[in-house]
Structures are given as structure tokens and as C-alpha cells.
A and B are shown apart, each in its own frame.
Chain A
Amino acid sequence: MTDTASPRPGYVPPIFGDTPEGTHVYQRVPYNADDYGPVSDFTTDFDHADKNYNPNAPKVWKELREGGCPVAHSDRYGGMWVPLTHDTVQEVAYDTENFTSRSVVVGVGRPGDLSLPAPIGGAPPITSDPPFHAMARRLLLPAFAPKKIEPWEPEIRRLCNDLLDRLGEVTPGQTIIDAAIDYAQHIPVNVIGRMLGFPEKDEDLFRKFVHDTLERIAEEPGSVDQGDELGLYIFAQIDDHRANPRDDLTSFLMNVELDGQPVTDDIVGGMIVLLLIAGIDTTWSAIGSSLWHLAQHPEDHQRLLDDPDVMTFALEEFLRAYAPVTMARLVAKDNDFHGCPMQKDDWVLLPFPAANRDPLKFEDPDTFIVDRQENRHAAFGLGIHRCLGSNLARLELKVAIEEFIKRFPRFELAGDTAWSIGQIRGPRVLPVRILETAD
């Protein structure tokens, strides 16, 4: 449809807003954070990228809801609405007529005139709307279905134990480790690398490429160098899979057909990058937040050790209370949303984590109940865009927690936790003191 968006080595699907080369593909929103400064009132000046937001998000949601604000607003980013109740979040997620997924990350760029229009969007299926969305999604679903993911459990368990071994000598009561950086961070990137069939000997290199790319995206949305190492590495792996086909995710993606035609390497590379972006920071955040909770709640920790079956419920409670992912939509046409005059191209933030703490849907929502029996949480979204990788994410989170608490039956916070900034919420620095080790 447009040659300016043609994928190339290092291509990052433009789900993160602006791209350096695409003035027609991406419109820059006239927004400069410095003009606004720190948020003083989240009701009328909501900003999820304010440095005080993620550390205090549950308090912000509660205060806004209790103050009678089911939908907050901000002039930032060219105009943004933020539904805060489960009902309003669900309504936006279900209403694909009035709200498009063309861009799912709020930023200074919006899809422009020459960008791939709805219903396809720049990085299908996450940026797609009906009816195209279902077709694009159906191509990928089988690779992430529960029964395809379950067999990975022993491998993930091995990986977690390798990481714990690599922490070296641990002296109870003295040793401090960073549970986010030394442990949680490595799990999703290595799991996806193994699923893609990338050589294990490259793991450190691959992890470095991925994190360099993720960091660049955080700094300047969508910007990637021509000589991007991750892109080149992925293309080399695609070539290797062509020469030596095998039963893994890369080969699966290379065999996907669109309209009866095999997909190009550019599209395969783009899908791989999308899986990395969507799967890594998110899962890392969920693991980190769960360990952050356990470091402060030895009673929940003990319960999991005494009664491992409680994990079935605890896992969902971690996901509810510490859901890492907030998505976004663009308003597709002017509409009145519960009295809010929404205009075409306004942003709508979709804070699923806020929906998960709505007292109208969850009893005692700000209390972590390790064996909560009724838990319709929306950590993986609601409606047609339910997280494609949810089965994998859940398995990684479960195994990561189980192996950590088995190895370290007691640990506590040992310093300040640093939280991420933006739509993915989780600890980025998480020092914990190990108080007891297994044997």
C-alpha cells in the first residue's frame, strides 16, 4: 500500500508510534512533555508516563474512582481519555467500531495518511481491526495454543534453575541479589529464543540485541538504526532455518501463508520482533512484581510452600493485582462515551490493571488474596485482542515463581525498588536479601 513503510533488516513494527522516516506514515503529535511538567491532578491531566504513576498506580486509580471519575482526561499526547472502571475498560475493548487498534501505544506519533489503514494496521494482528484481524490472528493462534505451550514446562524449569545457579554463592542474611535484573529479566528472552530455535550458545548475544532494541524503543519510539544488530541477527537465523528446516517457531512463521502466498522474510522478521516486544518486558514485569509482593508477604510465600496447589489461584491473583500491561486505542469516530465528548484520533488508554482493581467487580480489590476463588481478571485484555501469548506468559510466571521460592524459602526487600515508566508496569530494579536457601 505504501513503499515508505517497506520492512527492512532491523524493521520494528510501528506499534510504538513514530518512525524516523515516515512523516506521512506517522504524524507527529504536537506534544512536548516539558510544556506540562509533572502531573498534579490525574483527573484532568492524566499521564501514565509520569514517573510517579507506575509506583503509585493502584492509589491513583482508587482515588480517581472514589472521587467520582470513571473516565479521566488529559490534553497530553494531543488528547487522551482514560477509562478506569472495569465496565468502561471492557466497553472500549469490545467496541471495535468506535475504537481502532491502529496504534496501541500512546506516543507522540499517530498513524498518518499514508499508513496502512484499518483494518490491517502496521503490525497485524495487534494493530488490526475486524474483519481482517481474525484472519491474521488465526494464523498465529495454533503456535500459542495451550497444548503447544504445555510441553515447554520442563525446559523453562531448567532455565530458571540455571539462572539461580548462576547467582553464585549465596549467604543467607547477607547476600543481596537483584531479582529483576539477575533473574526475571532473563527468563522470557531466553524462552522465546529457544522457542524460535535460535542457538543456545548465542543466548547472551541475543539477549543483548533484544534489550538494546527495547531500550531504544523506550528512549525514542520506533527509532532503529539501519545497521541494527537484532534485525541482522534475526535475518541470519531465518536464512539458517531455510537451509536447515526444523520443528520450531521460526519455521512455523516461515510456513505461514497469506492469501495462499508464502510470507516474505521481512514479514517473518517483523513478526519475530513483534513477539519479542510483546512478550519480553511484559513477562519480565509480571515475574518481578510477583517477587516484589512475596518479598513483603512471607505469609503468602509460606502458603505456597506448604500447599503448592494454591498456585493455581495465586498465579491468577498475581496477574490480577499486578497486571503489567496497559494497552491503547485511537477513537475511530466522534462519539459520546458516558458524557465524554470523544473526538476522532483522540487516544484512549486501556488500563486493564485498573479494571482488575474495580471494587464493583472484585471483592476487596486492593487486598492480595492468595487463593481468591472468583477472579475474572483482565490481565491479558478483554475481547478479540486477548494476549496471543497468554498461555506462555502464564507458564513462565508460574515456573519462575515456583523455582525462585523453592530455592529461596525466605527473602525480603533490601533497598529501593525502581519501577518502569509507561504502559508496561513492573520493577526494573528489585534488590532482595536472601534470608534462607534450600539446603
Chain B
Amino acid sequence: MRIHLEADKCQGHNRCYALAPELFDVDDFGQSVLLVEGDIPAELVEKARLAAANCPEFAIKILEA
């Protein structure tokens, strides 16, 4: 399972960073930055789904394997 972040949709709501800081960071302007490349470690799958389910701009997509 992978995460796709559509950076141009992100408006800096900061929900992903709050819910899944292992997967997302924020830059100096509050924009989301994806920290992982490729498949997500199994123990973080739940957090990835949570981040996607709480993005008000629908900027985070989960790509199932």
C-alpha cells in the first residue's frame, strides 16, 4: 500500500501531520510533506488511512497494492 499526496491540493490544514507524524511532516509554510517513499510499513497502514480520511481537501490518496 502506498500514499499519494497531491501537493497542489494541500492548503495546510495540518491534519495529516497531527495524526500521522511518522508519514507526514510540514514545511515552514505549513504545507504537507510526505516522508515515505514506496510501500508503507504494515504498522503505519492504519495511520495512513486515518490521514487520508481526515484531509479536508481530499489531497491524500491511498493506493492499495
List residues of A whose CB falls within 8 A of some B CB: 138, 141-142, 144-147, 312, 316, 373-378, 380, 382-384, 386, 390-391, 394
Contact = CB atoms under 8 A, between A and B. Distances in A.
A145 B31 CA distance: 9
B14 to A, nearest CB: 5
A390 B54 contact: no
27 contacts: A138-B29, A141-B12, A141-B28, A141-B30, A144-B30, A145-B27, A145-B30, A146-B18, A147-B26, A312-B19, A316-B54, A373-B53, A374-B53, A374-B54, A375-B54, A378-B56, A380-B56, A382-B11, A382-B56, A382-B57, A383-B11, A383-B57, A386-B12, A386-B13, A390-B13, A390-B14, A391-B30
Contacts of B58: 376
B55 interface: yes
A373 B50 contact: yes
Q: In this complex, which of A142, A386, A394 has the most chain B Cβ atoms within 10 angstroms of its Cβ?
A: A386
A145 B28 contact: yes
Contact of B54 (A138, A376, A384): A376
B28 A376 contact: no
B6 to A, nearest CB: 14
Contacts of A146: 14, 17-18, 26, 30
Nearest to B19: A312
Given A145-B26, A146-B26, A391-B30, A312 B18 contact: yes
Given A141-B30, A145-B27, 18 more contacts: A138-B29, A141-B12, A141-B29, A145-B28, A146-B17, A146-B30, A147-B28, A312-B18, A316-B15, A374-B54, A376-B53, A376-B54, A377-B56, A378-B56, A380-B13, A382-B11, A384-B11, A391-B14
Contacts of B30: 141, 144-146, 391
Interface string B35-65: 0000000000000001001111110000000
Interface residues of B, number: 20
A386 B11 contact: yes
B53 A142 contact: no
Contacts of A394: 14
Contacts of A373: 50, 53
Nearest to B15: A316
Contacts of A382: 11, 56-57
Contacts of B14: 146, 390-391, 394
A181 B12 CA distance: 32
Contacts of A377: 56
Contacts of A384: 11
Given A376-B55, A390-B13, A145 B19 contact: no
Given A312-B19, A384-B11, A386-B12, A142 B54 contact: no
A390 B14 CA distance: 9
A424 to B, nearest CB: 20
Contacts of B56: 376-378, 380, 382
A370 to B, nearest CB: 15
A146 B31 CA distance: 10
Contacts of B26: 145-147
A147 B34 CA distance: 16
A142 B29 contact: yes
Nearest to A391: B14
Q: In this complex, which of B17, B28, B55 has the most chain A Cβ atoms within 10 angstroms of its Cβ?
A: B28
Contacts of B54: 316, 374-376
A312 B54 CA distance: 12
Contacts of A312: 18-19
Contacts of A316: 15, 54
A142 B29 CA distance: 5
B57 to A, nearest CB: 7
A145 B29 contact: yes
A237 to B, nearest CB: 26
B13 A142 contact: no
A205 B9 CA distance: 42
